[in-house]
Structure 1
Amino acid sequence: MASTFPETAISTERLLLRPFEEEDAPALAGTMDDEAVRCWTPVPHPYTEHHARTWIRTTAPEDRARGRGIAFAVTENLTQRLVGVVRLQQTDWRLRTTEAAFVTSPWARGEGYAPEALLGVAQWLFEDRGFERLELRTAAGNTAAQQVAQKTGCISEGVLRSAGTVRGGEPGDGTDEEVRTDLIVWSLLPEDLEIPAPRTPGRPADDRRATRI
């Protein structure tokens, strides 16, 4: 199989995941300049439209072309607003594994969009691209990201001690000082998304799948 991801779009029940476009720059800048994003990610701060355009025009396309991964603009079907970003990185084409990172726009938090988007990407990876493992790494203090991993169905595998950095450790502390943090490793495998067996007549359905893509 090819060692680069194709440009593609993924549909879920409420979302469309698609390649980034130039017109997404203002919304992307607003998402990435959020205080919580600043705390848990290494993005520049302040994050401007110039940063967003450079990433859309150059960084993201180069990462895909070189086989490193792929970035999706996550948009809401009803409004076409930018819900956030799902990015695949650290891709190993021999082992068919990759790591997912995600960011949710402030206005869209608490709606279950991040697990829905990640599950859609996982189904695409496993069923269409033949991948065998999707990995997430969350900072030990980032409970919101840990909840997303759990809701997606990921399994916690352990802790990488002092393997990452965060800015100050908590949103709102007013500092850009980087401090070291443990990273929790999560994984999702194809068998974790197996379709449940047909239910016995008269018993309630137990179907926890995301919408098929």
Structure 2
Amino acid sequence: MTATFPDISLSTERLLLRPYDEADIPELVEMMNDDLVTAWTGAPRPYTEATARAFTTGGAAAERTSGRGLVLAVTELLTQRLVGTVQLQNTDWRIRGTEVGYLTASWARGEGYAGESVLAVVRWLFGSLGFERVELRTAADNSASQQVAQKIGCISEGVLRGAGLIRSRAGDDPEGRWVETRTDLLVWSLLPEDLDDADDADGSGTAAGEVYETGYAPYPDYADYSAAAQRR
């Protein structure tokens, strides 16, 4: 029997992390067509309504039912506006380890939402599911993503040379076509004791928030696709 993550939602003081649904399509399309999302992820460009519909009605849930990982929409708790995505991927159930990815809508950047949502997921993994390792990989030039890793207490482990792909406009033309180039990936990790040390220092050990089941219906026959894409 394939091990899978439970069908859950998580909440923090400001955010609700939950499965995607069709009501998210308009905001998802807007978020994914941002130039920075295109540059740092492998998401389709343009990201169409059809792509968003296929993802929200099947692709996201298939990540969970396949055992590969978990995809959660990140929304503001009060307004329910879509803030971003957190995804678990490349999960190894034998060693209780997984890789976390994230992206943030352009309007929501600079508010600390990425770190807050990732920490909620990591604390849930360690505290409720007995996971022992969470890995995070950032493109060498993606300083914003690296700042998130540092702020949540990740430990830098090294560099995977030429292990990722990023995109940029040809000739730096803002209207030019997107081209892929190879990049190094920085590897970061979190272990349970890393969060224990941080919580002892700042008294935030209860910041994981509430966890509850959602009853989200999976569509396991959907083709493999990652909302957070291959690498941030």
TM > 0.5 fold call: yes
SS at match of 2:8: coil
1:118 corresponds in structure 2 to: 118
**Residues of 2 paired with 1:98 and 1:77: CA distance?**
26
2:132 corresponds in structure 1 to: 132
**Residues of 1 paired with 2:36 and 2:174: CA distance?**
8
Alignment of 1:102-181 (within 5 A): 102-168=102-168, 172=174, 174-181=176-183
Taking a change above 3 Å as real, the CA distance of residues 61 and 212 of structure 1, as seen in their structure-2 partners, is: closer
Which consecutive unaligned segments of at least 5 residues does structure 1 have? 198-204
CA deviations on 1:76-119 (whole Å, 9 max, x unpaired) are 01211000000100000001000011010011000000000000
1:207 aligns with 2:209: no
Counterpart contact for 2:2–2:66, Cα < 8 Å: no
1:69 corresponds in structure 2 to: 69
Counterpart contact for 1:119–1:210, Cα < 8 Å: no
**Residues of 2 paired with 1:19 and 1:179: CA distance?**
32
- Residue 174 of structure 1: how far off its partner (Å): 3.4
**Residues of 2 paired with 1:8 and 1:139: CA distance?**
29
TM-score (structure 1 length as normaliser): 0.91
**Residues of 2 paired with 1:211 and 1:171: CA distance?**
44
**Residues of 1 paired with 2:92 and 2:138: CA distance?**
20
Which consecutive unaligned segments of at least 5 residues does structure 2 have? 210-232
Consecutive aligned runs of 4 or more in structure 1 exceeding 3 Å deviation: 169-175
Counterpart contact for 1:12–1:210, Cα < 8 Å: no
Aligned-residue CA RMSD (Å): 2.0
**Residues of 1 paired with 2:112 and 2:39: CA distance?**
21
Taking a change above 3 Å as real, the CA distance of residues 89 and 50 of structure 1, as seen in their structure-2 partners, is: same
Alignment of 1:25-64 (within 5 A): 25-64=25-64
SS at match of 1:117: helix
**Residues of 2 paired with 1:117 and 1:104: CA distance?**
10
Q: How many residues align?
A: 206
Q: 2:185 aligns with which of 183, 186, 210?
A: 183
TM-score (structure 2 length as normaliser): 0.84
